[in-house]
Amino acid sequence: MSEKQHHIHLVPGDVGEYVLLPGDPGRAEVIAAHFDNPKHIATNREYVTYTGYLDGVKVSVTSTGIGCPSAAIAMEELVRVGAKTFIRVGTSGSIQPGTKGGELAIVSGAIRDEGTSSHYMPIEFPAVADLEVVQALRSAAIAKNVPYRVGISQSKDSFYGEVEPEHSGVSTRLLERWRAWEIGGAICSEMEASTLFVLASMLRVRAGGVMVMHGEGELGSLEPLIETAVLAIRELIKGDQNA
């Protein structure tokens, strides 16, 4: 498929097989600064793409905007132009008491508390990250000496449904469900992972996610998050070359 993709405005050859997916378009350039010879490729709507190299291999970063619908569009179109491995890189709310601000959440699976993924697979189908991506992120966090947790995320459709549930007409339901996620051991709450994981399974590509969590204390710099994600891509490249 050689035509320019409708939303991301990319064609085959514009991106590498390894792509980092922040939500914020402003973070695409910041992440790309960690690549060798990064170049801006395209900007359209919330989708900003840079491509460069890590260890001689072409890699890219594409912002997705906020939420599952726009993230799904990005992944579908990126796969059409050649991307095969994805890491969602972003921020999240913490769920477990005692989480320190700045801890990383390496997402192994996601609660499908959103509507987009149901347009792809029945709700009984699990949203699970690729094991190789999870392992690479964990190894990278250890190497960077960044505090982390591996676990389940809640992917939701409403930011303020999490942070200000009392203003919702279904506040009792939201609070009850939040308590359920806490009891179940979920570690963070964000807005994209579940759909990306379901889509990746369908499209036969790899996907994982790493989030920096808002918890007790200051969130701090995003640099440890970005460095961990970039090192994980390096480890995946090395593993794929040695396979």
- Structural domains in the chain, CATH included, are 18-242 (3.40.50.1580)
Distances (CA, A) of 166 to 38, 155, 161, 203: 44, 19, 8, 38
If pLDDT is split at 50, 70 and 90, which confidence band does 2 have? low
State the pLDDT confidence band at 3, using cuts at 50, 70 and 90.
Answer: confident
CA nearest neighbour of 77 among 155, 122, 157, 19: 19
Is residue 211 predicted with pLDDT exceeding 80? yes
Query: Amino acid identity of 100?
Result: K
Yes or no: say if 188 and 194 are a contact pair by the CB < 8 Å rule: no
Tokens found for residue 196? 């990306």
Q: Residue 97 has what DSSP assignment?
A: T
Strand pairing class (36-44; 104-113): unpaired
What proportion of the chain, given as a percentage, has pLDDT over 70? 99
Average pLDDT over every residue of 37-45: 98
Neighbours of 126 (CB within 10 A): 14
Mean pLDDT of all residues belonging to the chain: 96
Please, which residues have CB within 8 angstroms of residue 173's CB and are 6 or more apart in sequence?
none
Cα 28 from Cα 61, distance rounded (Å): 6
Q: List the single range of 127-136, 139-148, 160-169, 223-232 with lowest mean pLDDT.
A: 160-169
Average pLDDT, integer, range 130-136: 98
Tens digits of residue pLDDT in 12-30: 999 999 999 999 999 999 9
Could you tell me if 213 and 94 are in contact, meaning their C-beta atoms sit under 8 angstroms apart? yes
